[in-house]
Structure 1
Amino acid sequence: MKKDPADYTKGETEYAARKQAVKDGKPNAYTYFKNIAVTLAGDLVIGLSFSNDYQRYSCSAIEIDGVRFNDPCRWSKDGKALDDDLSDLNVSSVHTSVRTI
């Protein structure tokens, strides 16, 4: 995310806040940060994991414009959305310790 924080979406703002919490050493911040990411549209991806078998990312929920949807979503290992109505995943926002299954 290389844009002015004033232009962040709700998802990007939450992602930045959680990233800052890790830097500040807040309790449990790392646990909550390592399995989130954002899409190119700025949606917050929650419960992100990577499947070694299928070579793709998936999540348990996504927050679009501040509204949480508990629908699983999928992206290729390169971040390309596998579901028609999704934005591509911002792969640079995926933590190196994302849960791998």
Structure 2
Amino acid sequence: MSKLKDSRTVEQTQWLKMRDDAKAGKTNSAIRFNNSALTVDGQLCIGMTHNIKLRRYSCTYLQTDGVRDFGGACSWGIEGGSLDGLSDLNLKTIQNGVRTI
């Protein structure tokens, strides 16, 4: 990421740590990393799913400022545009291992 370290959100820092742990071969971190992504605003999307038939991504919940929000649907089009009025998805943070249905 090109941002200065001090300007990262808690979630961006957490995602980078998961990435580093996954690269180091830590299995649990690799699973969490493969099923996570970031929005353009730096929110952490946890429980990512790629629906081939509906051509969209969705997640179980978002984390913002260290607080997880289980409040509703979070979905994005295949190009990363929000379908729910949330921040768009940062497509560079989606992993090949994301669960596909």
Superposition TM-score, scaled by structure 1 size: 0.93
**What is the letter of the counterpart of residue 23 of structure 1?**
K
**Residue ranges of structure 1 left out of the alignment (5+ in a row):** none
SS of the equivalent of 1:28 reads: helix
What's the CA shift string for 1:6-27, capped at 9, x where partnerless? 2110110110010011122223
Question: 1:67 deviation in Å?
Answer: 1.1
What's the CA shift string for 1:10-47, capped at 9, x where partnerless? 11011001001112222322111101000000000000
For residues 49 and 98 of structure 2, the distance between their equivalents in structure 1, rounded to whole angstroms, comes to: 6
Q: Which runs of 4+ in 1 moved over 3 A?
A: none
SS of the equivalent of 2:76 reads: strand
For residues 2 and 91 of structure 1, the distance between their equivalents in structure 2, rounded to whole angstroms, comes to: 15
1:60 equivalent in structure 2? 60
1:78 equivalent in structure 2? 79
Q: Does 1:39 align with 2:22?
A: no
Question: 1:96 deviation in Å?
Answer: 1.2
**What is the letter of the counterpart of residue 46 of structure 2?**
I
Q: Over the residues paired in the alignment, what is the CA RMSD in angstroms? A: 1.0
Q: How does 1:20-35 map to 2 (within 5 A)?
A: 20-35=20-35
**Residue ranges of structure 2 left out of the alignment (5+ in a row):** none
- Counting matched residue pairs gives 100
Q: Does 1:93 align with 2:82?
A: no
1:48 equivalent in structure 2? 48
Superposition TM-score, scaled by structure 2 size: 0.93
2:18 equivalent in structure 1? 18
Identity in percent: 38
- The answer to whether the 8 Å contact 2:36/2:48 transfers is yes
Most deviating of 52-61 and 20-29: 20-29
**What is the letter of the counterpart of residue 57 of structure 2?**
Y
